[in-house]
Amino acid sequence: MDVMPGLENVVAAETRLSDVDGERGRLVIAGADVERMEGGFEEVAAALWSAAGLDGAAMAAKLGPARVEAFSRVPSLGAALDVPDGMEALRGAMGQLRSTGELARDAVDVTAAAAVLAAAWARRRAGQPVLAPDPAAGHADDFLRMASGSVSPARSRALDRYLATVSDHGMNASTFVARVVTSTGSDVVSSVVAAIGALKGPLHGGAPGPVLDMLDAIGTADRAKAWLAAELAAGRRIMGMGHRIYRVRDPRAAVFERALETMAAALPAGATERLALARAVEREATSMLTAKHPERPIAANVEFYTAVLLEAVGLPRALFSPTFAVGRVLGWTAHAAEQARTGRLIRPASRYVGPRPD
Ligand code: COA
């Protein structure tokens, strides 16, 4: 048997949730092309949960009250939320949720809780009082207000676009983790906590903060080439570039770029300049990486423009990866439901290369 350390091209499940075409740079989520998707968080939640065989519309309608319920737990989560890393906080705080034993209820609860707990962490970290959810508000709108203390229609719309766009993405590492945990017969809370652990890694969901650090360090477009050359010479990777599946530009980068363009006039001062700098850095990085790896196209991934979008929306960069989790929790829970229906334990093999007893 061949060993496949990264499991590339190993098909571990059939899914109705999303399809990633890495050669053509296309992403379909619950039957819709990501570049033409109009609906926000609640719509994509309903679509993904329905595609997984659940009553998606009824579940999505329960998100508001579930945020209120999650908020009632915040006072008892103190120690878990008071850690410097947002993903660690989310992992610890979500880990204290109790499973109801009912998959659909758990899915709504963890989805609501991810937004509430990520926002509460950000507020406490900034030394500000936590803000209670408004069950009548849209999920993205409510998350933005709870996290940043203010909202505007343009910023809420941009964040809603972001959360819907990152909701699912084929058999990515954290989704696989969620499916593996579910396949053991465990509950959705456990699947999501494990998935958060996987998303925390810089090769998966941890890059958008560092992308912004990179843009800060570069400062102006004329300095991009020298800065990137020094990084590559030092053997470091350029954050926000490259993807395991895409051999062309990640289609989600274009969605975020367009969202930023459309909303530029209503976004805070500086957003337009940031976008121009990001585009210049992307152009330079693409051309340098293509020269370095002519055999393997390395283009911008989702996290490149995530950084610019989430900054424009007014979220602190420490909250970028937790915000990714606030969107991706939809995919995790839908995949958990799909996996549970198969009833099949995921249990790959390994090849022993250690010593054997005589
Ligand atoms: N900067 C510089 N070089 C890169 C690179 C990047 N962002 N991405 C890939 N490469 C290079 C690797 O160094 C490797 O070169 P080598 O063979 O000379 O060592 C080659 O391209 C193949 O890389 P590999 O690690 O096999 O690709 P992968 O499929 O495992 O990588 C990522 C996918 C995402 C892990 C990788 O592109 C990366 O680390 N990107 C930066 C982090 C990031 O943006 N993460 C968010 C992902 S959504």
Cβ of 301 less than 6 Å from ligand 1 = yes
Q: What is the structure's pLDDT at 349?
A: 94
The protein residue whose alpha carbon is closest to atom 25 in ligand 1 is 244
Q: What is the structure's pLDDT at 49?
A: 98
The protein residue whose alpha carbon is closest to atom 3 in ligand 1 is 237
The protein residue whose alpha carbon is closest to atom 16 in ligand 1 is 293
Neighbours of 122 (CB within 10 A): 24
Q: What is the structure's pLDDT at 272?
A: 86
Rounded to the nearest angstrom, the distance between the alpha carbon of 267 and the centre of ligand 1 is 32
Compute the distance between CA of residue 196 and CA of residue 162 in angstroms, rounded to an integer: 18
Q: What is the structure's pLDDT at 209?
A: 82
Cβ of 10 less than 6 Å from ligand 1 = no
DSSP string spanning 135-173?
Answer: TTS-HHHHHHHHHHS---HHHHHHHHHHHHHTS--SS-H
The protein residue whose alpha carbon is closest to atom 38 in ligand 1 is 242
The protein residue whose alpha carbon is closest to atom 24 in ligand 1 is 244
Q: Considering Cα of 21, then 25, then 29, then 32, what sign does the dihedral take?
A: negative
Nearest to 325 by CA among 215, 178, 130, 132: 178
**pTM attached to this predicted model:** 0.93
Q: What is the structure's pLDDT at 262?
A: 84
Cβ of 243 less than 6 Å from ligand 1 = yes
Cβ of 302 less than 6 Å from ligand 1 = yes
Compute the distance between CA of residue 16 and CA of residue 34 in angstroms, rounded to an integer: 15
Q: Which of 236, 241, 256, 320 to mutate to test the pocket of ligand 1 (most atoms within 8 A of CB)?
A: 241
Q: What is the structure's pLDDT at 358?
A: 87
Cβ of 239 less than 6 Å from ligand 1 = yes
Element housing 211 (H / E): helix 208-218
Nearest to 194 by CA among 10, 346, 329, 46: 329
Rounded to the nearest angstrom, the distance between the alpha carbon of 145 and the centre of ligand 1 is 35
Rounded to the nearest angstrom, the distance between the alpha carbon of 159 and the centre of ligand 1 is 27
Q: What is the structure's pLDDT at 263?
A: 82
Phi, psi of 248 (to 5 degrees): -130, -175
Q: What is the structure's pLDDT at 205?
A: 78
Q: What is the structure's pLDDT at 318?
A: 93
Tens of pLDDT, residue by residue, the chain (358 residues): 889 999 988 999 999 999 999 999 999 999 999 999 999 999 999 999 999 999 999 999 999 999 999 999 999 998 999 999 999 999 999 999 999 999 999 999 999 999 999 999 999 999 999 999 999 999 999 999 999 999 999 999 999 999 999 999 999 999 999 999 999 999 999 999 999 999 999 888 777 788 999 999 999 999 999 999 999 999 999 999 998 889 999 999 999 999 988 887 887 778 889 999 999 999 999 999 999 999 998 999 988 999 899 999 999 999 999 999 999 999 999 999 999 999 999 999 999 999 999 8
Q: What is the structure's pLDDT at 122?
A: 97
Cβ of 236 less than 6 Å from ligand 1 = no
Q: Which residues are catalytic?
A: 243, 303
Q: What is the structure's pLDDT at 26?
A: 96
Cβ of 97 less than 6 Å from ligand 1 = no
The C-alpha angle 20, 23, 27, rounded to 5 degrees, equals: 25
